[in-house]
Amino acid sequence: MSRLFGTDGVRGLANEKITAELALGLSIAAAQVLGESARALGRKPKAVVGRDPRASGEFLSAAVTAGLASAGVDVHDAGVLPTPAIAFLTADMDAHFGVMLSASHNAMPDNGIKFFAQGGHKLPDTVEDQIAARLHQDWVRPVGAEVGRVHRNKAGQARYVAHLLAALPNRLDGLTVVIDGAHGAASAVSPEVFRLAGAEVIEIGTAPDGLNINDGYGSTHLGHLRAAVVARGADFGIAHDGDADRCLAVDHTGAEVDGDQIMAILALALQERGKLAGNTLVATVMSNLGLLQAMEREGVEVIKTGVGDRYVLEKMREGSYSLGGEQSGHVILLEHGTTGDGVLTGLMLAARVAETGKSLADLAAVMTRLPQILINVKGVDTSRVDTDEELQSAVTTETDALGDSGRVLLRKSGTEPLVRVMVEAATADQAHDVAERLAGVVRARLAL
């Protein structure tokens, strides 16, 4: 039986998989599990709830709020804010947990529900499974004064902006930056904080209407950002996803600067300031081999984890490391946040440009990306990826042939029903050929 929770909460088509009934039930179950410590002390649990601007978030957040309050939890509704803002507010307001309604970079029809534990940390698998197990179980309904109260938190954005500004090592005066908000949760916050930090800001993708989130804009669609940066002569551009827990960039020429390059730049900035804890960067197995080679050259150790910023965070907390993240643009700066924060990442990247006087292109040149091909194979049995002997034999054969000049990675997606085939090689043609061969084996061996 598959888990209800994926690598980043529960996600799917809103009003089909992610229904009001599910949101209500999950919030009640979460109240039982995550509010237990407060009730043990005779206190009412407190929760912060936020959402991105997609239309379905309106009814889903109402269902979550109703479920929590009916289960005796005082709810602080922060409205539309980035996921990392809800994580921050959960800690800043000493709430017992937080809830975010978002499907991140997914298209508008999808939505999702994710929880933060006390302190603003993502939940471990075991706690998520406890919440799933409590779904539809009997529970004691509070009555009278014991029901939860609902408060509209109007100061959440200002508190988050102040937190971001306090994290900056230097101002951004003199920089011109294009911000692409993906018509998502950072549409108001990101331009505001960049301007307050001293940058001249040009906005695109910052007019959410509930239906246009991630639609042609944001970190998965960089075309508009590239065009705007070049046309306006900006120093660089920053792109967020729908809930702004990730950040990608483009330099002044319009060339993409991905999460691996961003981590390389920030790792060296922290190393220079003596703030790269353990002289270590935590990255996932999806990070480009070029990042590993660059960090080895610069004397920075790289620890690799499974895919998902939650696993990066777990390793970071385990070793008290200060920097980690993913190629996709989830970057965690543990001194300042408990989860990937696209606005914070963009600010720190801009601060490095301002501090050094170098262009983003020059800073990103610290690493050379090896050609990487990613093929998503749909319509297959993802449960057999690691156990099919012929498939694993094909992976071993291709890996041996690449040697030290490349690598192969097969994994099932944690958020979608598909298998990802990733190949890096010395040339794009070689990477493409290997990836196509392996994708063919996946289709043949894992056919439904």
Residues assigned a catalytic role:
104
245 is in an annotated binding site: yes
Structure tokens, 323: 């920097």
351 close to 417: Cβ distance less than 8 angstroms:
no
Longest Cα–Cα distance of the chain, Å, equals 70
118 CB-near residues (< 8 Å, 6+ apart)? 34, 37, 90, 91, 95, 96, 97
Annotation-wise, does 94 bind a ligand? no
Hey, which bits of 131-251 come out as E strands? 150-152, 176-180, 200-204, 236-240, 247-250
Other Cβ atoms within 10 Å of 329 Cβ, number: 29
Give the alpha-carbon dihedral of 64, 69, 73, 78, to 10 degrees. 50
The two three-digit tokens of residue 83, written as one number: 């996921």
Please check if 393 is assigned to a binding site.
no
Evaluate whether 303 touches 284 at the Cβ level (below 8 Å): no
Helix (H) or strand (E) holding 79: strand 74-80
Contact 294, 405 (CB under 8 A): no
Q: Is 287 helix (H, G, I), strand (E, B) or coil?
A: coil
- Which parts of 306-397 are beta strand (E)? 323-325, 331-333, 372-378
243 annotated as a binding-site residue: yes
Which residues belong to the annotated binding site for Mg(2+)? 104, 241, 243, 245
